[in-house]
């Protein structure tokens, strides 16, 4: 069991993107790749512009799902590792970020340590007048795909 948890943790730390699945008011689905961060409580964060389709969707239907997949997996060569989840989404403004930044900062610092060119953060752009917001998916269920 510990090996499975370690493998999924490694998957989270080595992945840059998750697939976010949202639906509009009428239930029409939409998927988007988003760069993510994760906190100690396995809540998933991303930043997006407010007029992106997935941002509009979570405003009218705050339910979403995620998928993080082992991008190094070669088809038919063993079995992949993946994490799936579903839950509710919250939108944050600049005034809300102070409490979130320590967890997001630890995540980005750890993950970017191995990158040649760390990506700039967008947290400082997420205020009331900016088109950028931070979103958090609070999973109610998480599922792991693991060879064991």
Predicted confidence (pLDDT) per residue in 64-120, tens digit? 999 999 877 766 666 778 999 999 999 987 677 777 777 777 777 777 665 544 454
Query: Which two tokens mark 117?
Result: 């060119």
Question: What percentage of residues in the chain have a pLDDT greater than 70?
Answer: 81
CA–CA separation, 64 vs 21, rounded Å?
Answer: 6
- pTM equals 0.80
Mean pLDDT of 126-140: 82
Task: Check residue 74 and give its pLDDT.
Answer: 65
| Model pLDDT, residue 123 | 44
Mean pLDDT rounded to a whole number for the chain: 82
First to last CA, the chain: 9
């Amino acid at each position: 069991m510990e090996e499975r948890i370690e493998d999924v943790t490694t998957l989270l730390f080595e992945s840059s993107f998750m697939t976010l699945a949202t639906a509009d008011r009428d239930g029409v689905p939409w998927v988007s790749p988003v760069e993510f961060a994760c906190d100690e409580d396995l809540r998933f964060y991303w930043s997006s512009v407010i007029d992106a389709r997935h941002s509009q969707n979570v405003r009218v239907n705050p339910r979403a799902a995620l998928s993080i997949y082992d991008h190094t997996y070669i088809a038919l060569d063993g079995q992949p590792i993946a994490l799936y989840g579903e839950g509710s989404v919250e939108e944050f403004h600049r005034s809300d970020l102070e409490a979130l930044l320590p967890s997001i900062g630890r995540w980005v610092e750890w993950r970017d340590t191995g990158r040649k060119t760390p990506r700039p953060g967008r947290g400082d752009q997420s205020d009331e007048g900016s088109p950028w917001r931070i979103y958090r998916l609070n999973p109610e269920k998480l599922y792991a795909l693991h060879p064991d």
